[in-house]
A and B are shown apart, each in its own frame.
Chain A
Amino acid sequence: MSQPLPPRFEDLLSRYLDSTLTEAEQAELAELLKDALLEKTFLEATRLGREIAGVLSKPISDDEMTALVDVDINTEEGSKIAPGKDTQRISAILDRIDRDRDSESPREQQSPKPEAQNPAKRSPPSTRRSRLAPPRSSPSSWIFGLAAAGVLLAVSLFFVLSPSESDPATAEMARQSRARASKEAEARRQVKQDLLERERAQARAEAEAKRLDAEARLEDIRRKQEALALTAAQPGQIPAEQDKRKAEEKQLASDKTRIEQELREATQLAKKTERPALTEPHQEEKPLSTQGTPLVSSQGTTQPALAQVEEVAGEAFVVMKDGKSLVTAGADLLPGQGVLTGGSTSRIVLRFPDKTRVDLGPETLLAELKADSGKRLALTRGTILAVVAKQPKDQPMIFTMPHGQAKVVGTTLRLVVDPDPKKGTRLEVEEGKVELKNLAGKTVYVESGHYAVAAAGVELVARKLESIPAPGPSWILDFQAEFANAKPDPSVWILNRGFPEPSGPPGVPVKHTYVDKAVECKGGSAIIHADRKGAAADSGWTSGYLGMTRKYARLYGRFEVCCKMPKGTGLESWIRLISPEFESPQDIALLVVRGDSPTSGQGGGAIPMGGVDFSDGFHIVACEWESGSIKWYVDGELKGSTSENVPKKPLAVVINLTVGGWGGLPDSSTPSSAALEIKYVRVFKNK
């Protein structure tokens, strides 16, 4: 470097290159980049890493690139294999396998000439790298065309030259040509078979994962039905409980029928994919992995263990095609096998030969492990924490989930898979970088300290992982509700449940009606919209109401809400803890803010929560509810406490935005549309 760089720039640049900059430092570096020289150095330095990696790594071979491009330019089926359409994709693969099996009959093997003359009949394979639409009319596969042309050439040479094969030189030429053509054809056949085998195996794994998932869900239903049967046998049930039990039984029966149908379909699909794809000649040649280790055959006589079970806690099983059996520490896991953990105390730790460690949490199904150009793990549901050792560049470790795929070269990551497609798969990366692809085919790189969610209707973006600091030494996080989906998670929140409404003082009517559509999630926040229905100031309004389900009701704890309240006469924002079914009249007002004075909120009976403008940005309001006392906080500052009327029943968070009533009537100054925004709700429990 001809000119010394400012030390601060060097420091920031160096740490940027190694991903250790804080957000403030990133902003500082961005500011420094206004200098043209520094900007140029920044660009060169960021490029350098990629260039070094490019110089030092070995690019793929001519043959591999040729095969990959060939597949792309010839895969007309590619458009059929639409991401997100598993069944169609599997069917398309199966169709292609069937066609290929047909087209690879011994007769055709012996006589490739008609294929070369009418190459449109050939259905070429596809690879995971294939991304582009098929080209203009280009029916022939030039790889196979080349092979066929080679054979044709050899045959032609044979006939042309055979009369004079008495000439040793000519005969040798003919022999060499035939040998070369045969070798080329064989090499291409091998590439094609290898690709087909990979896809077939992937389709089988997906079908297997679905089958196992359906079995596990049926098992859950069986358990629940047994539990209900026990309840039914208990004497002295009140009619309301009996009705509830019957409704649950009905729902379970309906779920069971649906899942049994899914199981039948998945079993059929799994069986179909089990048919050996390579029944053609050359079957004695087992496909080789890139490391030259024999892959497992369906007969599987020599199957090297892929991983070992290092630790087991609680219930844990190894799952196979024909069922499952209990597993203990030290057991080897073979290709095609998977593992399943039981209830809340269950856990399995797997260790791979390269020291990669995969830790499965409770109720987790890792349906299948495979070695196919790298480790392949089909994660159907549950949670895993993986510390992945550096993988060979061309053999990444791939986790396949129902909602997408995560490609890992070497990192520490956490995957949480929910069977519900709307919740999807959440990937958290502690260290390194992971490529996450959703079913729509969109890809995002998730770097250390970030997370992304692959789920139906959720935008695939990497977001910064916010570490959740405990608010004090006596608290630990119990749960957190976030708003990553388009609508609040229905297993956590109920919209407009009809809880008793704060009615308002005499003569000041409530102007709003709650509607579900008033609540949406955007930019990671839940937004409750209050909208005036008409142009007149005294028109009616629509608004929204968010209440946590019974499951999230807690007796005591620290309840924390990050929120921004709307401004405007007649609007009032409420955050309360109330009984989930309103069994108890006791509640705790966490914060109530009138829109006409957003700097003077109230908590509890009359705890002043002022000092901040709740409409100018997000603020964290909290209450610490313990036996005999409640304390209120705003942005960490204690605002007040009480030891009177402290509720003694579990309460859940409820948030709503009212118009009229206690907030006063709206007037002409009230905006016709207002929003109460919630970034998160966190509940901590006492250690």
Chain B
Amino acid sequence: MDEQEAILEVLAGRTSAFGLLVRKYHRPLYYFVVGKVTEDAEAEDIVQKTFVTAYQRLREFDRTKSLVFWLRGIALNHCRNEWKRVERQGQLENRVLEVKRAQLELGSLEESATQETGRIEALRKCIEALGPSDQNVVRLRFVEELPLKAIGAALNKTAEAARLLLFRIRIRLLGCVKKRLALEEVSS
């Protein structure tokens, strides 16, 4: 059963076909939203919500268009709602930077939606290109989510030294991702 058939099946009431769409798109959607959510742990929730909304509104989907872009649009709306919530909470608590960050994210969601496909892949390659010790630092911070003090202790450094090291890695990764995306654009 292909995608179009699955949609028709669902619209005809045979909802079991919706599972095919979930299986096909949940990972691409996850990587699409992971940079746009307020917390990386939120990404799966947004994907889940996206599918539920898609299911509820499948009749509104124009089948002459791409389903994946439609799903991304829904996902972006959910991300937008989350950022608006963060903005409101920031305003309530007078947290200037959180408000600013939420506003920046809200302003760039549309723009980033059109250029995101290769970004995560580029980042993956950039992380792989890091040296083992830098990869370890990244893992400790972003996978283990250890505080700086603990990272410093693991590296036999102070928390401040760990912070500076981590920042340099971040900047390097940002540069690397940009370079890779630019190269891909030229080659394509």
Contact = CB atoms under 8 A, between A and B. Distances in A.
B63 interface: no
A59 B27 contact: yes
Given A1-B175, A444-B89, A461-B93, A66 B23 contact: yes
B80 to A, nearest CB: 15
Nearest to A131: B49
B145 interface: yes
A97 B47 CA distance: 28
Instruction: Please classify the interface of chain A as helix (H, G, I), strand (E, B), loop, or mixed, using the class held by over half of its residues.
Output: helix
Given A43-B105, A53-B143, A142-B17, A69 B52 contact: yes
B167 A70 contact: no
Contact of B16 (A135, A149, A445): A149
B52 A52 contact: no
A581 B2 CA distance: 81
Given A54-B40, A73-B55, A463-B93, A138 B163 contact: no
A60 B45 CA distance: 11
Nearest to A53: B40
Contacts of B51: 65, 69, 72-73
A248 to B, nearest CB: 43
A54 B35 contact: yes
Interface stretch (A27-35, A234-242, A315-323): A27-35
B22 A56 contact: no
B15 A44 contact: no
A432 B144 CA distance: 12
Interface residues of A, number: 69
A286 interface: no
Given A1-B174, A18-B163, A54-B35, A73 B145 contact: no
Contact of A409 (B52, B145, B147): B145
Contacts of A138: 15, 55
Interface string A29-57: 11001000001011111111111111111
Contacts of B144: 390
B153 interface: no
A48 B44 contact: no
A142 B43 CA distance: 24
Nearest to A16: B97
A136 interface: yes
Contacts, number: 189
B22 A17 contact: no
A494 interface: no
B53 interface: yes
B183 interface: no
Contacts of A60: 44
B19 A26 contact: no
B163 A51 contact: no
A227 interface: no
Given A45-B174, A51-B34, A56 B52 contact: no
A142 B15 contact: yes
A1 B171 contact: yes
A399 B124 CA distance: 35
A380 interface: no
Interface string B14-45: 11111100110011001100111101110111
Given A53-B142, A132-B53, A145-B15, A48 B170 contact: yes
B147 A431 contact: yes
A14 B175 CA distance: 16
A591 B171 CA distance: 55
A54 B120 contact: yes
B171 A129 contact: no
Which residue, of B52, B105, B108, has the highest number of chain A Cβ atoms within 10 A? B52
Interface in A183-222: none
B92 A132 contact: no
A55 B56 contact: no
A13 B167 CA distance: 9
A21 B151 CA distance: 19
Nearest to A26: B97
Interface in A450-476: 461-464
Contacts of B167: 10, 13-14, 17
B16 A145 contact: yes
Contact of B164 (A14, A69, A143, A464): A14
Interface in A244-258: none
B163 A15 contact: yes
A87 B147 CA distance: 40
A20 interface: yes
A464 B173 CA distance: 32
B141 to A, nearest CB: 8
B96 A26 contact: yes
B180 interface: no
A284 interface: no
A15 B53 CA distance: 38
14 contacts: A10-B167, A21-B97, A42-B104, A45-B170, A55-B127, A60-B44, A65-B22, A68-B48, A73-B51, A73-B52, A132-B53, A132-B56, A135-B52, A136-B56
Nearest 6 interchain pairs by C-beta: A54-B34, A142-B15, A146-B16, A14-B167, A53-B40, A142-B16
Given A62-B22, A66-B26, 8 more contacts: A17-B170, A39-B104, A43-B104, A48-B173, A51-B119, A55-B34, A65-B44, A444-B89
